[in-house]
Structure 1
Amino acid sequence: MILIADSGSSKTDWRGIDKDGNVSQFRGVGFNPYYQTPEEMATELNDEFLLKLKEEVVAIYYYGAGCSTPENKKGVATALGNLFGNAKIKIEHDLLAAARATCGHEEGIACILGTGSNSCDYNGDKITDSRPSPGFILGDEGGGTSIGKKFLQDFIHDEMPAVLKEEAADRFQLTAQVIQDNVYRKPFPGRYMASFCRFITEHTSNPYCYLLYYNAFQDFFKKHVTRYSNYDQKKVSFVGSVAFYNSDILRKAAADMQIHVHLILESPIAGLTLYHKDNL
């Protein structure tokens, strides 16, 4: 059996493919080696679905957020190796997952708009260029952490419509102190900030929420997509929940900048499953 993982900071999609081509699946917690040690990741891997497969798995293809440096790849490989001692482990960046799932063997620009954000230029075989992705404090334009951070800033400074602030305060028991405790004292502040995107998406009929997304997407295009050569002649595709559940706003923001949107997928796992199934 081979095991495929597509992991972001918030969730991981797992697919197992046995020798007969049968597929099993599971969704678990996300991982990011920038914020977690191998020991912490190994603890989170002790899930019933994975434990049942540990003796059968001979190869793991893991695509993950933060897996852009040799050190981070080694940390993830160590965590996986603790559970799957007999498996050959291949660690790749989540950008390659996005490119393989959306572009296949054709050239294009592949983007991630989920908890965080990222992008690359892909020639149909490999990534040829990418933009800096320095995380939720210094980057993540267009991603959930950046949008959620803006929402929470506006909540604290009373710079959003009163009806939205009242509803958010009631639903989440939200106060400035609660926000600061979650951002500065508790683990995974990026996940916390991104968690408000569901609420924002529910209220995109309100111009304030619509513009949170529209402006964030245009900021992403300016800092990422327009920096690639001949971007206006290439198909631009997206994976990630922020892109998927706000695709109408994303397409409008793109069209206003003469950017051609091709595919928008919630997750690349289905495309990755087909890719690796063909190579069994």
Structure 2
Amino acid sequence: MILIVDSGSTKSDWIAVDNNGNKLLEKIRTKGLNPAILPEKKLKKIIKGSEDLKNNREIVSHVFFYGAGCGTEKPVQTLREVLQSIFINAQIEVNEDTMAAVYACINNPQEAAVVCILGTGSNCSYYDGENLHQKVISLGYTLMDDASGNYYGKQLIRDYYFNKMPENVRVAFGSKYNMDADYIKYNLYKQPNPNAYLANFAEFMFLHKDSEYTIELIKKGIRLFAENMILQFKDHLKTVPVHFAGSIAFFAQNEIKEVAEEMGFTTGNFIRRPIDRLIPFHTKDL
């Protein structure tokens, strides 16, 4: 059994297939496994909380894991050890989530492209057809992650409290979410995964795209992301497309295309969930 995992900070999608790419189990979903945020004990608890994973752990031969928080060696090593302790007979491969986005978005294995992730967090890399290049190491949701779910959640909460929302939008937002200050602070400062908590608010934008306020909020985040991340690779933007992966990108396609026209880059593919497109990539040589 081969396990392919696409993990953000909010959730992890697991697919179990045989060597020919045939699915063996229904798609498994667990909480996010971000080793830069969660301790080893919590990572193990989340994985073992799935009956399917626990019951089949000894017959797993390979685990191909792509995840948020896997961009530096220390968290990668932590997660590799956690996975090896559970899937004791498996070969373990841990990569940052950007590589899952690359393999899912490009049209052929040698295609060069700028590949962006806009999900709970955000990231941007240049893939030259063989190697991945990044000019900025992400410092996470408190300092970076422009145009991500947690970025938009933060902006929405701020606008609500600073009375910068149109009144009809503010009423709708306050009706949908618990906006009690103590409740918000409890989730931000006392609970794990505050970035995922913030990202939960982003759905509101896509349910209220009839508001000019919401459209401009989306575009503002995308412009920041483009200026700080995509334009790092301006020398390549005239010759390669910019692909996008993640739910925020998928639902903000129109706004991304408008910003792309403003800033002079060409959008390519928009993939909401990269994991399904990873199956042929990992089974073709087994």
Which band: TM-score by shorter chain?
Answer: over 0.9
SS in 2 for 1:215: helix
* Distance of aligned partners of 1:198 and 1:214 in 2 relative to their CA distance in 1, 3 Å threshold: same
1:219-270 alpha-carbon deviations (Å, 9 max, x no partner) = 1000011111222321100111100112111111212211101001011112
> Distance in 2 between the 1:177 and 1:249 partners?
34
SS of the residue 1:137 aligns to: coil
User: After TM superposition, what 4+ stretches of structure 1 lie above 6 angstroms from structure 2?
Assistant: none
In the alignment, is the contact (CA less than 8 A) between 1:152 and 1:179 conserved in 2?
A: no
One-letter code aligned to 2:262: D
Cα distance per residue 1:142-188 (max 9 Å; x no partner): 11111110110111111111111112212223233332222222221
Determine which of 114, 117, 120 is the counterpart of 1:115. Answer: 120
Distance in structure 2 (CA, Å) of the matches to 1:124 and 1:13 = 26
Once the two structures are superposed, the pairs formed by residues 92-107 of structure 1 within 5 Å of their partners are: 92-103=95-106, 104-107=109-112
CA contact (8 A) 2:10 2:32 kept: yes
Query: Are the equivalent residues in 1 in contact too, given 2:19–2:283 (CA < 8 A)?
Result: no
Task: Report the counterpart of residue 247 of structure 1 in structure 2.
Answer: 253
Q: How many angstroms apart in 1 are the aligned matches of 2:203 and 2:113?
A: 29
Is 1:54–2:57 an aligned residue pair? yes
* Alpha-carbon separation, structure 1, partners of 2:262 and 2:285: 40
- Are 1:268 and 2:271 counterparts? no
CA distance in 1, matches of 2:34, 2:129: 27
Backbone CA RMSD of aligned residues: 1.4
TM-score (norm 1): 0.96
Could you tell me the TM-score, scaled by structure 2's length? 0.94
1:132 aligns with 2:137: yes
Retained in 2: the 8 A contact 1:145–1:194?
Answer: yes
Q: Greater shift after overlay, 44-53 or 169-178?
A: 169-178
Cα contact 2:135–2:232 (8 A) shared by 1 = no
- Partner letter of residue 146 of structure 2? E
The letter of the residue matching 1:96 is: M
1:277 paired with 2:279, answer no
Structure 2: 5+ residue stretches without partners: none
- How far apart are the structure 2 equivalents of 1:21 and 1:161? 50
CA contact (8 A) 1:217 1:253 kept: yes
Q: Identity across aligned pairs (percent)?
A: 30
**Separation in 1, partners of 2:169, 2:181:** 15
1:83 aligned onto 2:86: yes
Task: Count the aligned residue pairs.
Answer: 280
